[in-house]
Amino acid sequence: MTSPAESVLARAWRRRGPLACLLFPVSLLFRLLVSLRRALYRAGWLRSTRLPVPVIIVGNVFVGGTGKTPFTIWLIEQLRAAGFSPGVISRGYGGKNALPVEVGPDARPAQVGDEPALIAARAGCPVMIGRDRVAVAQALLAAHPAVDVIVSDDGLQHYALERDVEIVMCDERGDGNGWMLPAGPLREPAARPRDFTVVNAAHLPPLVLPPAYRMQLSGEVAERLSDRGHAIPLGNIRAPRIVAAAGIGNPARFFGMLKKAGLTIEPLPLPDHYDYADNPFARLPADIILITEKDAVKCTQIDTMKTDPRLWVVPVTARIDSALAKRIVEKCRGRPTA
């Protein structure tokens, strides 16, 4: 269900073929503008704001989903275990909110975005969204004075907000063809500085900048959408026809995880941030439909889906070397006073 234009670009970004070469001059202009903007912030011509608490940016150079949300949830849990009281800021998908808006555990994804809604529900910490991340962070600190570290879900290129730790996410696609938009999939040069690289893949792709840590996403159970307390191990699922649907940046990753669990599935990839304005399952001849948590936060808001007994959610948990959490905590504790 991906648009033809998106499919063409995705294929072009894998290699330096004719279409990528045709777009390369435009990408050089884009690279120049990105470099100029960053230089203006470094020189102080454009103002950046430092907050009174440490700021951790979780972002990606590669356009599209690379696993930021499960990593952010993992990071919140690690920070809390280390004694911090974390809060999360995000633009919210589509950036519709000009003013800061707090995301409650029962927030509607259509208003706040699916990823902030999922983080608020899973992580149980304050979450605030809005276009201006500085204003959003300041509003979060004003509303929740106990917050002593802020995690920014995305925002790597939002230089108006000073940061203490930058974490760049990537997956098995690595840097694609290595070129910037529109000739390639990169928002910034592949070699842009960062504190850590986290790779959401079974193996580290070539040329990954150190220090790099591998993240594995594991799903062990499926929970019925209409009754999240009813869960069964993935390996125990038995049905003649099992469909797996995913409206995430890289649906193949979700499908691969299910196949690794021993399931025979029919994949149904949906566009990232799919809004479910049309029910793709209404006439689908399936006995069981497995969906991601990101899709579940939207499906639970729709009457025709939240009661569909065929829909089962597969929660995933990020598994990462604990050494990364220790290094992030050390950086936060060692940051200079604002």
Q: Report how many domains make up the chain.
A: 2
Tell me: is residue 96 an annotated ligand-binding position.
no
Tell me: is residue 17 an annotated ligand-binding position.
no
- Give tens-digit pLDDT for 247-274: 998 899 999 999 999 999 999 999 988 9
Do the domain assignments include residue 156?
Answer: yes
Tell me: is residue 66 an annotated ligand-binding position.
yes
Tell me: is residue 68 an annotated ligand-binding position.
yes
> Do the beta carbons of residue 245 and residue 295 sit within 8 Å?
yes
Query: Residue 171's domain is classified under what CATH number?
Result: 3.40.50
Do the domain assignments include residue 181?
Answer: yes
Do the domain assignments include residue 142?
Answer: no
Tell me: is residue 63 an annotated ligand-binding position.
yes
Residues 244 and 277 in one domain: yes
Q: What is the pLDDT of residue 210?
A: 85
Residue 229, number of CB atoms within 10 A of its CB? 6
Tell me: is residue 65 an annotated ligand-binding position.
yes
- Give tens-digit pLDDT for 44-53: 999 999 999 9
To the nearest 10°, the Cα dihedral for 225, 228, 234, 235? -120
Residues 232 and 304 in one domain: yes
- Give tens-digit pLDDT for 93-150: 765 677 899 998 778 888 898 999 999 999 999 999 999 999 999 999 999 999 999 9
Is 0.85 topped by the overall pTM? yes
Tell me: is residue 72 an annotated ligand-binding position.
no
Tell me: is residue 64 an annotated ligand-binding position.
yes
Do the domain assignments include residue 7?
Answer: no
Q: What is the pLDDT of residue 202?
A: 83
Supply the range of the domain harboring residue 241: 220-315
Whether the predicted pLDDT of 281 surpasses 90 = yes
Percentage of the residues of the chain whose pLDDT score is greater than 70: 96
Do the domain assignments include residue 243?
Answer: yes
Residues 63 and 152 in one domain: yes
CA dist., res. 290 & res. 267, Å (int): 10
Residues 323 and 265 in one domain: no
Whether the predicted pLDDT of 175 surpasses 60 = yes
